[in-house]
Amino acid sequence: MSSFKTIISHCGVIHIAKAAKISPRAVYKWLARDCLPRTEFTGETNYSEIISDLSGGTYSPDEVRAAGRYQPNQAA
């Protein structure tokens, strides 16, 4: 499975922001947190489908969602 940052960089922050109708800053916040926003997992948004479409099918929506799922840092 690809990392979330790899998937985002493959598609491009600006392209994702335009397709999702959000600011590039919002996408950079995802990268800083290394996860998609909560709204993706509560069904309020469909960013994983948008990112999958931008990747040309390289990444499925499920793969994007899995890579973008919040994972607490276990090195504490």
Could you read off the pLDDT of 8-31 as tens digits, one per residue? 999 999 999 999 999 999 999 999
Q: Are residues 61 and 48 in contact, defined by beta-carbon separation less than 8 angstroms?
A: yes
Q: Does residue 45 belong to any structural domain of this protein?
A: yes
Q: What is the pTM of this model?
A: 0.90
Q: Are residues 22 and 14 in contact, defined by beta-carbon separation less than 8 angstroms?
A: no
**Measured distance CA(61)–CA(43) in Å, rounded:** 13
Q: Does residue 76 belong to any structural domain of this protein?
A: no
> Domain range holding 40?
4-67
* Total domains present in the chain: 1
Give the N- to C-terminal CA distance of the chain in Å, as an integer: 24
Q: Does residue 40 belong to any structural domain of this protein?
A: yes
Angle at 27 between CA 54 and CA 18, to 5 degrees: 50
**Measured distance CA(71)–CA(3) in Å, rounded:** 12
Q: Does residue 74 belong to any structural domain of this protein?
A: no
Residue 75 pLDDT:
53
Q: Does residue 22 belong to any structural domain of this protein?
A: yes
